[in-house]
């Protein structure tokens, strides 16, 4: 196996994972890779429209991607140029831990980092404190919500938040806001990514329903933030509920 000395990451959470473990490996990352805040690497545009020519110019030993966040034609173009592309699939918390070890240890040749052990420990033994049903919008205009088989939905379920659309045939269904308000949910969960829901943009569409404004990074990213995610998410949920 060729030693990995240069990595381009096309996934913000994986960028943070590599940066927290071996920052010197990163040669490039997307414009959306915002953590760590002082990351100084070549930028290769977005997750859905990466600059494949620029990535090829960077000559990485490994490109890390995700089957949901990145488009197969872009990954195919990188492979056609002779680059090694490692594609992750993350739909559940256990998958996240498995894929993080695959990327860092098997893919990059690193020692398993202590933060990954801390993240696993943080999620062990959770008792589902909240026992509440919720709708979980992820976009507005049009309204889109978490449906089946999502990483964020799995995290919420482990905290005791039941997504009323968890059995929907689509993973991110488009649902009119009138229907969202008619499902009998006890809570609306509003993360700040991908859509930036705020106290002034989101809760207004759900009159009379408590709104939990959550950190999207702690709800949707699989990386070092998983170590603090249970506490951060629980605090926000607790503050929103009567």
Average pLDDT, the chain: 96
Q: What does residue 97 show for φ and ψ, rounded to 5 degrees?
A: -65, -40
The DSSP symbol for 235 reads: H
CA 16 to chain centre: 11
> Environment class of residue 186 by beta-carbon count within 10 Å: exposed (0-12), middle (13-18) or buried (19+)?
middle
**Would 61 be classed as within a structural domain?**
yes
The CA distances from residue 99 to 42, 88, 103, 196, in Å, are 24, 6, 6, 27
pLDDT of residue 170: 97
Higher pLDDT, 5 or 2: 5
Query: Which residue range forms the structural domain that includes residue 71?
Result: 7-112
179 and 223, same domain (yes or no): yes
Cis status of the peptide bond prior to 173, with omega within 30 of 0: no
pLDDT score of 143 more than 80: yes
pLDDT at 161 over 70: yes
Same domain, residue pair 155 and 201: yes
Q: Is residue 126 part of a domain?
A: no
Distance separating alpha carbons of residues 101 and 98, to the nearest angstrom: 5
Q: Do 140 and 92 belong together in one domain? A: no
Indicate if 75 and 146 belong to the same structural domain.
no
DSSP 106: I
Same domain membership, residue 160 and residue 88:
no
What is the C-alpha separation between 15 and 65, in angstroms, rounded? 10
Judged against a pLDDT cut of 90, whether residue 3 lies above it is answered with no
Q: How many domains does the chain have?
A: 2
Angle of CA points 100, 106, 110, to nearest 5°: 80
- Domain membership of residue 222 (yes or no) is yes
Per-residue pLDDT at 195 exceeds 80: yes
Phi first, then psi: what are they for 166, rounded to 5°? -65, -25
**What is the per-residue pLDDT across 13-43, written as a single tens digit (0 to 9) for each?**
999 999 999 989 999 999 999 999 999 999 9
Q: Tell me what pLDDT residue 2 has.
A: 67
The CATH number of residue 170's host domain is 3.40.50.1980
Q: Tell me if 2 is assigned to some domain.
A: no
C-alpha span between 205 and 233 (Å, rounded): 22
Q: Does residue 151 share a domain with residue 70? A: no
Residue 146 counted as domain residue: yes
Last residue of a domain, one of 47, 78, 112: 112
Tokens at 223, concatenated: 């990386």
- Give the percent of the chain with pLDDT over 90: 95
Determine which of 82-86, 127-131, 198-202, 235-239 has the lowest per-residue pLDDT on average: 127-131
Structure tokens at 210: 């408590």
* Percent of the chain residues topping a pLDDT of 70: 99
Domain final residue, candidates 47, 80, 112: 112
32 and 60 inside one domain: yes
In terms of domains, do 233 and 136 share one?
yes
Checking if the pLDDT of 1 tops 70, the result is: no
Q: With 90 as the cut, is the pLDDT of residue 216 above it?
A: yes
The whole-number pLDDT of residue 144 equals 98
User: Which residue is listed with tokens 């429209």?
Assistant: 49
User: Distance (Å, rounded) from C-alpha 143 to C-alpha 22?
Assistant: 39
Q: Is residue 117 part of a domain?
A: no
Residue pair 242/210 in contact by the 8 Å Cβ criterion: yes
Residue 234 falls inside a structural domain = yes
Note whether residue 232 is domain-resident: yes
Task: Label the pairing between strands 144-145 and 137-139.
Answer: antiparallel
Q: Which CA distances in Å does 208 have to 29, 140, 184?
A: 42, 19, 12
């Amino acid at each position: 196996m060729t030693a990995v000395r240069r990595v381009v990451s096309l996934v913000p959470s994986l960028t943070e994972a590599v940066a927290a473990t071996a920052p010197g490996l990163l040669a490039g990352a997307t414009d959306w890779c915002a953590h760590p805040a002082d990351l100084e690497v070549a930028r290769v545009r977005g997750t859905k429209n990466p600059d494949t020519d620029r990535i090829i110019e960077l000559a990485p030993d490994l490109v890390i991607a995700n089957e949901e966040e990145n488009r197969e034609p872009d990954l195919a173009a990188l492979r056609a140029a002779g680059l090694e592309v490692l594609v992750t699939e993350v739909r559940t918390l256990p998958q996240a831990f498995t894929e993080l070890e695959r990327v860092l240890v098997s893919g990059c040749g690193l020692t398993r980092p202590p933060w990954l052990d801390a993240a696993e420990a943080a999620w062990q033994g959770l008792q589902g404190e909240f026992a509440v049903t919720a709708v979980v919008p992820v976009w507005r205009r049009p309204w889109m919500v978490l449906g089946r088989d999502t990483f964020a939905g799995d995290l919420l379920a482990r905290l005791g938040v039941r997504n009323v659309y968890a059995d929907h045939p689509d993973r991110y269904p488009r649902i009119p806001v009138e229907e969202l308000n008619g499902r009998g949910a006890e809570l609306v969960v509003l993360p700040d990514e991908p859509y930036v829901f705020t106290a002034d943009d989101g809760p207004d569409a759900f009159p009379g329903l408590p709104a939990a404004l959550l950190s999207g990074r702690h709800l949707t990213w699989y990386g070092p933030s998983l170590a603090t995610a249970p506490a951060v998410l629980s605090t926000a949920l607790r503050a929103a509920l009567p």
